[in-house]
Amino acid sequence: MANEQPHYDQVLVDITDYVHDFKVETSSCWSAARMALMDAVGCAIESLHKNAACKNIINAVLLDSSDINGMRLPGTDLRLNPMNGAFALGTLIRFSDHNDSLGGAESGHPSDSLGAILAVADWIDRNERLVTIQDLLEAMVKAYEIQGCFQTENAFHAHGMDHVILVKVASTATACWLLRLTKKQTMDALSHAWMDSAPLRTYRSSPNTISRKGWAAGDACMRAVMFAMLCRSGVEGAPSALTAPRWGFYDSVWQSASFSLPRPYASWVIQNVFFKTMPAEGHGISAVEAAIQLSHEFRCHDGDRWKDIDKIRIRSTAATLRIISKAGPLHSPADRDHCIQFLVAVALLKGSAPEISDYADDGPWANDPKVDDLRNRMVVVEEESFTRDYLDLDRRTATNAVQIYFNDGTATEDIIVEHPVGHSKNPQTRPAVQRKFKDNLEHTYSKDEVLSIISMIENEHLPVHVLTDLLARRSSSGVLSRL
């Protein structure tokens, strides 16, 4: 029949029903979402303060764009349309590799989606209707859940795709919900996200680990907002974007007839995300903690005991070996923070965790011969039990073990760290994330302003624009300027 409604792929239906119909109700979920919001905002401010390369990339895209009624980009005096705002904020949150993460068959960073969510929420609140902090937090819960459920059991990297496809899908869904699109419009927008697929993972892996891994999430957020806005205006979607023979997502790139999801969408992910308390790829953080424990013995005597090392053995997960184990030259900051050998070497030499400046080309470690010497003595191997527990939804460990062997036949203790600070099962995580947030914001805001920001995030009825107005900073000249 000519007027028969098309049948939409079940994946599109399920995501749409969830994002429109699910209600967040538990206090623990709201609390987790507030912590996630604070952490992501803090990461954005940190990138502004410490990462010139990030600001250069954003400036290259924004040029002199401004929108008097646009969203306010935290830490700046910029007012941007929601697409540009999504790119800029998504890039700021992600660029320093310090925002939260989640492991699984595919690793990813759920807070990447806040770039789109906050940009759209602030823009709507300024131009169309009230959007509250509670609305913002609810959108975050849903974006986290969509992305996390997919990455738990579906390895996009196995098909050469980068995980930001899930940022794009989750951000599209929640942008549609915030914009109050119909379910049909939401499914149409989601179909565009799946047809857009994902960039190649090339830029996240050796030998081409480059800064694009820092702005790929911003790009995904920008496109998600574009799809939502297009479908809001009446642009049609593709109901069988995944299942269409030959040209659909499954036949074209997935080489399978469906995805595997661990559970119905709810609110599990936001309560089990891993918060990074140091700017390093998440799979290496427990190895850094182990190395710090070993650093006293390593650095004792005359300070040159590193010359007496025969080897350093790192036992880890299959995901760690695939993502961040690399030998040979490291060509950029992006290359270094995605190298477990570099992370461990710096932690041993410093006796503390790496900082953003430690990855820089002109930083203290990029050209230190001791770092490369130690890297050459490292052996990274998979411990199958670590991999099993990493993938087990009940255990969800993030384990690394580090042991140093010396030329005289002695060895250090084999230090095993299963739940580093930042893991939901570590009791030190919440206070550590709160300290990180305050430290990041105090680069830009007074202590009283930081307390006000925290108070606003805890006020569920507050309009979003009141928070973003406080987060805005004027330039010294008092006029709009580039970052």
| CATH of residue 411 | 3.30.1330.120
Q: Can you tell me the distance from the alpha carbon of 402 to that of 312, in angstroms, rounded to the nearest whole number? A: 7
The per-residue pLDDT of the chain, averaged, comes to 93
Is pLDDT at 435 greater than 50 in this prediction?
A: yes
Helix axes 52-62, 27-50, angle to 10 degrees: 90
One domain, residues 23 and 64: yes
One domain, residues 233 and 339: no
The three-point CA angle 248-252-253 to 5° equals 115
| Residue positions counted in the chain | 483
Is pLDDT at 457 greater than 50 in this prediction?
A: yes
Q: Can you tell me the distance from the alpha carbon of 386 to that of 368, in angstroms, rounded to the nearest whole number? A: 32
One domain, residues 233 and 370: no
**End position of a domain, from candidates 206, 239, 271:** 271
Taking residues 135-144, report their average pLDDT: 98
One domain, residues 309 and 265: no
In a domain, 440, yes or no: no
One domain, residues 362 and 258: no
Q: Can you tell me the distance from the alpha carbon of 63 to that of 362, in angstroms, rounded to the nearest whole number? A: 27
Q: Residue 413: which domain range?
A: 282-417
Q: Which strand (E) or helix (H) includes residue 420?
A: none
Taking residues 385-389, report their average pLDDT: 96
> For 67-162, where are the E strands, in sequence order?
71-72, 79-80
Asked if the peptide bond before residue 207 counts as cis, ω within 30 degrees of 0, the response is yes
One domain, residues 318 and 412: yes
pLDDT at 102: 94
- At 245, the amino acid letter reads P
Q: Can you tell me the distance from the alpha carbon of 55 to that of 214, in angstroms, rounded to the nearest whole number? A: 11
In a domain, 433, yes or no: no
Taking residues 71-90, report their average pLDDT: 96
Domain CATH number, residue 39: 1.10.4100.10
One domain, residues 249 and 305: no
pLDDT at 85: 97
Is pLDDT at 302 greater than 60 in this prediction?
A: no
pLDDT at 255: 87
pLDDT at 298: 65
One domain, residues 355 and 246: no
**End position of a domain, from candidates 243, 271, 299:** 271
Q: Can you tell me the distance from the alpha carbon of 45 to that of 48, in angstroms, rounded to the nearest whole number? A: 5
pLDDT over 90, % of the chain? 87
The three-point CA angle 97-331-373 to 5° equals 100
Residue the block writes with tokens 């003595």: 377
pTM: 0.91
DSSP reduced 3-state for 313: strand
Is pLDDT at 239 greater than 80 in this prediction?
A: yes
Is pLDDT at 252 greater than 80 in this prediction?
A: yes
DSSP reduced 3-state for 17: helix
In a domain, 422, yes or no: no
- pLDDT-derived band at 477, boundaries 50, 70, 90: very low
In a domain, 368, yes or no: yes
Q: Can you tell me the distance from the alpha carbon of 338 to that of 284, in angstroms, rounded to the nearest whole number? A: 8
One domain, residues 299 and 260: no
Q: Which strand (E) or helix (H) includes residue 138?
A: helix 133-153
Taking residues 419-434, report their average pLDDT: 95
pLDDT at 256: 79
**303: closest CA among 351, 363, 368?**
351
For residue 454, how far is the Cα from the chain centroid?
21
- pLDDT-derived band at 67, boundaries 50, 70, 90: confident
pLDDT at 203: 94
pLDDT at 394: 87
One domain, residues 263 and 286: no
pLDDT at 301: 45
In a domain, 380, yes or no: yes
One domain, residues 350 and 397: yes
Is pLDDT at 179 greater than 90 in this prediction?
A: yes
One domain, residues 128 and 213: yes
Is pLDDT at 316 greater than 60 in this prediction?
A: yes
Kindly report, residue by residue over 322-351, the tens digit of the pLDDT: 999 999 999 999 999 999 999 999 999 999
pLDDT at 390: 94
Total tally of structural domains belonging to the chain: 2
Taking residues 413-437, report their average pLDDT: 96
Kindly report, residue by residue over 9-42, the tens digit of the pLDDT: 999 999 999 999 999 999 999 999 999 999 999 9
pLDDT at 3: 57
